[in-house]
Structure formats: structure tokens, C-alpha cells
Structure 1
Amino acid sequence: MSAPLSALLLSGGASRRMQADKALLDYGGRPQLLRAWELLQRVGVAHAHVSINPGQQGDALRAGLPTLADTVPSVGPVAGIVTAQQAFPAHAWLVLACDLPLLDAATLQSLLDARDPDRDATAFSSRHDGLPEPLCAIWEPSAAPLLRQRLASGHHCPRKALLQLQIHTLPAPGNTLDNVNTPDELLRARRQLELR
């Protein structure tokens, strides 16, 4: 029997390269955090949380949504994933970065439809290097021990964790998983969205 599926919207990053909180960036009059949250609702994931670092607990936008504050050192996305796994250990987690403005419901639904609960994770391949994309992926409960072990030994890369797990890999979904880390990438993403 499959584990119940919850969603984790990662928004706790420092956004150093952008020099602005990526969750608050405006696309078409809406902050990206709300656009991503609404996308999760459109694909029917009923149980969802926004992952935050402890310093974001007073943020007005995030406070309007159910949040999970990192309970392990905030060392990037893996802190949010491990926190969610510890809070709801029987759940699988649809993990979604908040800096994917080109992601659409069809792409997210294709990931949900392809979920293989007998593997440790289901993930798309990157169109850039062919490696699995960890921040638009479904992490099953069986992935939790390796993530905790890697975190405890100072390894914080969720992609490298996927490479050690048994995963179901899907073809890259075009440019929908291109993330936005810099002001130039922000301008390009806004232009692409205007053309849709």
C-alpha cells in the first residue's frame, strides 16, 4: 500500500544570488510562493506545508500558510525535507522548490501519475545534465534513513542522495523545471511567461 502523499513547498533559502527573497518575486501580479501553492492545490495535494527556516517565522506571506520550520540545521533544501520526514514519517513527500516559475500543472500532474511507491523516489531528469531533479520530486518514506545519515555526516546535496537511492526517473519536461536564481534569470522567466 502506498504511503499517503503530502507536499512540501521549499521557501527557506537565503536567495544570496538573487539578493531578494525568491518566494516573494512577482510574476504576473502574484508572488511566486502563492503561485506555487496554488499549483499544488490545482493538482489535488490536500496536505501541504511551506518549508521555512526559523528566521522566517514572522514573515507575513508565509504566516498565512501552514508552515514547517527547519528543526535541523538550515543547510539548504535537505533541512526542509528531513524536517518534513521527521514530522510525518509515514508520509511520502512531493517536494517542490518555490523558484520554479515555469512549472505548470500538467508537468506536476505527470510526476504524480508516474509515482512509483516501490522505489525510494520518483524524479524528472534534468534537461541540462541528465541527473535527477531533487526539488520537483516525490520522496518516499524509504528515502528518509539515507537523507538523515547524509545530513549527520555533513552531506547536504539532495541530488547526490537521489543518486544513491533506487529511483524512478522520468524524461526531462522541457524548460518547466528551470529555476530562477539571478536577476537575469528572473527577467528571462518573466518574458517566457508573458509569451504563454
Structure 2
Amino acid sequence: MSSSLGAMILTGGASTRMGADKAAQLWAGVPAVERVAALAAAVGASPVITVGGDAHGLPHVRDEPPLGGPVGGVLAGAAALREAGCLRGLVLAVDAPTLQADDVMPLIEAALPGAAYEGLHLPLVVSLSALPADAEAGWPLARLVERSGLVRLTCPPRVAARIRGANTLDERDALLACMPPDDSAENPGAS
């Protein structure tokens, strides 16, 4: 039996600002996509799928058109989650591998049709039935959030950087520097 909440990890970007596949980059010795998938499972999402790009060892859905933007990925992921019997989708960016359960729980606990943080489009939780029928790849995420009727929650300032994630090497370095010592890639003994 499937959960009413499934998760999709958007992995279809070109990673041009980062210079390497963001999903495969190591964070505390673990690929970003695995960290994000573990978070999704920890908050009760099932199934957890990747959308766009490569599968990275997880169930995978291609986005159409490839590199068609995050909304195209959300729509492809939503179709796969509906097929799995899910009613809601947790949408996560692979470039935010330092997210913690406490960061996404307010979104999961929000009333239907779902929520996203003010000023940030991902992560978000959406009732799959609330996605507009006319939505298409190429739409800005802000438009999808608005047209889906998602509530905008205030993002706690102390967690905004890790929720925003890392699109550049400088942003990645800043997030790595803020990781707890037992979880930092700079700590070779970290588990």
C-alpha cells in the first residue's frame, strides 16, 4: 500500500553554475541525491523518485522535454506519484542536501492544497489534484505555486540558506562550513 505522500527529487538541471552534476556531488561523503532521498524517507514519503537527469540508483522518471525546467519535472513526477497512489507530493531540489526534517515538516503539516516558503519555490508540498490542468514545462515555479493555491509560510531566517541550497561552488562551500561537525565533509571521521 502506498503512502498518501510521495516525494520527487528534481535532478534534471544542467548544473552549469556548479560545474558538475549536483546530484552526484559528495556532502559529508554521501552523494547529494542520497542525502535528499534519505530526508524524504525520514519524513514518511513513499515512494521517493528522481525526475530528469539520471536515476542515481532510485526509481526514476524522465521529464519532457528534457531540461524543460523545474515545472516540467514537477508535472512528470506528479504523474508518476499519482500512478503510485499518492495524493500529495513533496518536491525537493537535489541541490539542497543539507535540508533537515524540521525544515520540511511545516510544509507537510500545512492544510491542503499545500505550502511553500515565502521567497523560495522549493521545497514544496502540493496536493497532486491541485496542480493546474493547463500547467506546462517552461512555466516559472512561482506561477505553479500560485496557480496551485499553495500557502506561503514564513521561512525561519536561520535555515534559509540550507533550504535555498547550493547552485554554485561558493554556496556549496558556505553550506559545508555550516554543517554540524559530526556531519561535515571536512571531518574525515564523520559517519
Q: TM-score range with shorter-chain normalisation?
A: 0.7 to 0.9
Structure 2 match to 1:124: 117
Structure 1 match to 2:62: 69
| Secondary structure, aligned partner of 1:134 | coil
Matched, 1:11 2:11: yes
Q: From 88, 95, 104, give the equivalent of 2:91.
A: 95
Contact 2:132-2:148 at 8 Å conserved across structures? no
Contact 2:9-2:93 at 8 Å conserved across structures? yes
Q: State how far apart, in whole Å, the 2-side matches of 1:72 and 1:5 are.
A: 25
Structure 2 match to 1:188: 174
- Relative to the length of structure 1, the TM-score reads 0.78
Contact 1:124-1:173 at 8 Å conserved across structures? no
Q: 1:113 to 1:18 in 2, by over 3 A?
A: same
Contact 1:85-1:91 at 8 Å conserved across structures? no
Question: What's the CA shift for 1:11?
Answer: 1.0
- Runs of 4+ aligned structure 1 residues displaced above 6 Å come to none
Q: From 142, 145, 156, give the equivalent of 1:173.
A: 156
Structure 1, residues 124-172: CA drift from partner, whole Å, max 9, x if none?
113xxxxxx32200121233235xx2427xx421112223342222111
Q: From 124, 135, 147, give the equivalent of 1:137.
A: 124
40-49 vs 12-21, greater mean Cα deviation: 40-49
Q: 1:73 to 1:187 in 2, by over 3 A?
A: closer
Structure 2 match to 1:50: 50
Structure 1 match to 2:144: 161
Contact 2:71-2:144 at 8 Å conserved across structures? no
Q: State how far apart, in whole Å, the 1-side matches of 2:141 and 2:92 are.
A: 12
| Secondary structure, aligned partner of 1:74 | coil
Contact 1:102-1:178 at 8 Å conserved across structures? no
Contact 2:81-2:89 at 8 Å conserved across structures? no
Q: State how far apart, in whole Å, the 2-side matches of 1:12 and 1:73 are.
A: 7
Question: What's the CA shift for 1:43?
Answer: 1.1
Count of residues in correspondence between the two structures: 174
- Relative to the length of structure 2, the TM-score reads 0.80
Structure 1, residues 30-65: CA drift from partner, whole Å, max 9, x if none?
111111111111111122211123xx35xxxx1x21
Q: State how far apart, in whole Å, the 1-side matches of 2:163 and 2:4 are.
A: 25
